[in-house]
Chains A and B, each alone.
Chain A
Amino acid sequence: MKTNDLISLLAEDAPVGMRLGRMLAIALLVGVVVSALVLLSTVGVRPNLAAAIETARVLFKIGFTLVLAAAACRLVFIVGRPGLSLKARGLQLAVPLVFLAIAVASELSVLPSEAWTASMLGRNAAFCLFFIPVLSLAPLAGFLLVLKNGAPESPGLAGASAGLAAGAIAASLYAFHCPDDSPLFLAVWYSIAVLLVTTIGYLIGRRWLRW
């Protein structure tokens, strides 16, 4: 085929159906709703949520995961667009991490050192490691399917961002159920669960998001 013929062919297909940003917004919305329904229809929220939410630890747990989810989603929204620098939004991921470090430090200073291990191990670590990845499935699948329409300069990084965002969304939903409120628990088990989803996203993205 001559290049000029190809150009005529492409020109006839000019209009764009739906742009990447809108597709990602839909994937985010659907992912959050589906995962919230999964949470509500299985384990539900913690029974004493109304009272618990007023304590500093629970507020921090929910707030931290939400800030992390927001920062990671902001990255997902530009990672599929070539020619944009990811540096600024990548650095914003440090904000929730700094918060977490401060919370861990203050928890360590408040608690007697005999209680550290018990707070860190919590009561439901294994379930947390299982359920956060489960809750991340819907947003992760949505993000990856949409990013397949994108043009990420680094497919692995795009997949990892999708995994991080999906994991953080799942963590913030799970926080409404989770009975373990210590920042020490958060720093260990939530981090492992979210990093697991991030790794899955990276491994899928590295191959599947190539274009």
Chain B
Amino acid sequence: MKYSARDQEWAEWMRSAIKGDTQAYHRFLSAVTPHLRAMARRRCDQFGAPASEAEDVVQEVLLAVHLKRGTWDPDRPIGPWLSAIVRNKLIDSLRRRGRHVNVPIEDVIATLEAEEQSDGLDRLDAQHMLERLKDPQRDIVRSISLEGAGVRETAERLKMSEGAVRVALHRALKSLAALYRSDAREDE
């Protein structure tokens, strides 16, 4: 079987990422996201979930790709792995949300129109999510995501070692993934 140049490029980036190449990983995630978004919007339509939820789903899928990237075998093509993760998480996420979604079609149309303007990139209330993280985790997440600092800079700013920042960041991402899941459940 032949794999596309795109798949090979993605796999190359992911291989570097696993070894710790932050930039390659950033390229990989940025390249994958538009595809995830298109898929999430299509599925939201299909499941009758408001399109505004698509971006939440995208973020949940990104977190799953991230937390499960150790299950990809670098000797194998990345396409099938990625599709399986995305399909599984997409269905799971929409099923959880879908259960309580019961919006009349006019509202969906209205949401869709609103979506076009805002591009739906900020569905989740950042402040709300951050507040639910524990202390060093919250500062680290804020520093890296909102203020655009790297790990080293964050470590200096918070007077922590780089290792400690890395560990706390990893835990924070796990907590975020759990928060997404519990958030969707609370709404049921």
Residues of A within 8 A of B (CB): 1-21, 80-84, 149-151, 153, 211
Known contacts A15-B18, A81-B71; is-contact A7 B62 (Cβ 8 Å): yes
Contact present for A81 and B173 (CB under 8 Å): no
Given contacts A9-B144, A16-B69, A81-B71, contact A1 B85 (CB under 8 A): no
Interface size class of B (residues with CB under 8 A): 35 or more
Of the A-B pairs whose beta carbons lie under 8 Å apart in the complex, a sample of 6, sorted by A's number, is: A6-B59, A9-B141, A12-B22, A18-B70, A83-B82, A149-B68
State the majority secondary structure of interface residues on B.
helix
What chain A residues lie within 8 Å of B85 (beta carbons)? 82-83, 151
Verify A211–B64 contact, CB threshold 8 A. yes
In the complex with contacts A1-B124, A8-B26, A83-B81, A13-B70 CB distance below 8 A = no
Judge whether A5 and B146 touch: CB under 8 Å.
yes
Instruction: List chain A residues, Cβ under 8 A from B170.
Output: 13
Docked-complex contact B144 and A149, CB < 8 angstroms: no
Q: B68–A211 contact, CB under 8 A? A: yes
| Per-residue A-contact encoding for B105-128, CB less than 8 Å = 1, 0 else | 000000000000000011010100
A15 neighbours in B (Cβ, 8 Å): 17-20
Q: Which residues of A contact B130 (CB under 8 A)?
A: 1
Which residues 63-104 in B have Cβ within 8 Å of A in the complex?
Answer: 63-64, 66, 68-73, 76, 80-85, 88
